[in-house]
């Protein structure tokens, strides 16, 4: 496994509510300032989330290595991590499927159009922390990277791609100008309708990679 295998899970991170929030902020009273603040809040959480999981997994592997010097036991430790990641992916797939009919932003989220940059940054952080799908995705990414002895910097492309996807509404605003008034709602609607299907495909792909690791 390399960092390219992890990258597709960035789609799961932003699918649905996260991208809808980015669209709403891009059409807010202060679109540029609030969108950048939102990206700042989310980037802090994503970076912290994958880093903590990566560190915890490496520590657990290190403890197992100190206590179990036999090669077969070390392999069993790696297999347990793979099983844990696979379990996370199964739970993630179930949650995404159960939420497939949730369309449109909640009423309270519409207040983002009057948000300040500080509000947008806090909202971005809280939204990811309280989202089960994002928590499970970050845990799967960090644990998988550590299990395959990938250095910490291999997590950065995943974080950057997550931010790039969330920045799409702002990019549409900057490039399309007034035409973004019609383009952004279309982007929001497509995210609502098709996000769960794309997420399930990505999760299935990553689960397949994990299963192949278990079979080695």
pLDDT of residue 80: 77
What is the Cα gyration radius of the chain? 19
Q: Which two tokens stand for residue 98?
A: 């159960």
Flag residues of the chain having pLDDT under 70.
1-3, 64-77, 101-110, 177-196, 198, 216
| Burial environment of residue 72 by CB neighbours within 10 A (0 to 12, 13 to 18, 19 or more) | exposed
Q: Among residues of the chain, what percentage have pLDDT more than 70?
A: 76
d(CA 68, CA 63): 8
* CA dihedral (32, 34, 37, 42) positive or negative: negative
d(CA 88, CA 67): 26
Per-residue model confidence as pLDDT tens digits over 127-146: 889 888 899 999 999 998 98
pLDDT of residue 183: 64
d(CA 58, CA 55): 5
pLDDT of residue 68: 47
Q: How many CA atoms lie within 13 A of 165 on its CB side?
A: 23
Whole-model pTM: value is 0.79
pLDDT of residue 42: 95
pLDDT of residue 16: 72
Q: Which two tokens stand for residue 182?
A: 């019609």
């Amino acid at each position: 496994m390399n960092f390219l295998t992890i990258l597709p899970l960035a789609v799961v991170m932003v699918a649905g509510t996260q991208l809808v929030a980015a669209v709403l902020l891009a059409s807010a009273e202060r679109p540029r300032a609030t969108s950048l603040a939102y990206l700042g809040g989310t980037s802090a959480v994503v970076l912290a989330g994958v880093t903590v999981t990566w560190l915890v997994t490496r520590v657990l592997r290190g403890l197992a290595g100190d206590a179990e010097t036999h090669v077969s036991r070390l392999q069993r430790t790696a297999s347990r991590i793979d099983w844990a990641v696979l379990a996370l992916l199964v739970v993630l797939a179930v949650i995404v499927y159960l939420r497939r009919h949730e369309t449109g932003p909640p009423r309270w989220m519409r207040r983002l159009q009057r948000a300040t940059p500080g509000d947008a940054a806090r909202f971005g952080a809280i939204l990811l922390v309280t989202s089960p799908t994002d928590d499970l995705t970050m845990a799967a990414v960090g644990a998988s990277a550590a299990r395959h002895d990938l250095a910490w910097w291999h997590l950065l492309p995943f974080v950057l791609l997550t931010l790039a996807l969330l920045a799409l509404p702002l990019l549409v605003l900057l490039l399309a100008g007034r035409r973004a008034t019609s383009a952004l709602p279309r982007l929001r609607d497509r995210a609502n309708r098709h996000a769960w299907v794309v997420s399930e495909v990505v999760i299935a792909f990553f689960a397949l990679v994990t299963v192949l690791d278990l079979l080695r």
